[in-house]
Amino acid sequence: MSEPNKDYGEIGWDDFEKVLIVAGTVTRVEAFPEARKPAWKVWADFGPYGERKTSAQIAALYRPEDLLGRQIVGVINFPEKQIGPFRSQFLLTGFPTGEGVVITRPERAVPNGTRLA
């Protein structure tokens, strides 16, 4: 969870523009039994940016069938990250709660690859 009293500092518009936050649609979900905390392997179609995969600790609130076809919001320009035997290619965004992470998603459908403005 975020720390309300932490000084995150101000960023400039140029800093924000460097983060590529886009909409995608979940195309595949698999179990990730090797993960330390309950997680799914998630693949998403980001339109012109292609399909990418990630490990997401969202199993507390979402079943695979809840995720398939759902639009999500991801950060797709972080470096790839090795998570156990799996290579994560994007960050699935969400809000941590006491019950688990609530996925960020567009309020209405937008084309895959649409950038957050």
- Given a contact cutoff of 8 angstroms between Cβ atoms, the answer to whether 90 and 52 are in contact is yes
Across the chain, what does the average pLDDT equal?
95
Q: Please name each of the domains of the chain with its CATH number.
A: 19-103 (2.40.50.140)
How confident is the chain (117 residues) per 10-residue block, as mean pLDDT?
78 94 98 92 98 97 97 98 95 97 97 97
Range 60-97 burial, b when 16+ CB lie within 10 A, else e: eebeeeebeeebbbbebeeeeeebeebebbbbbbbeee
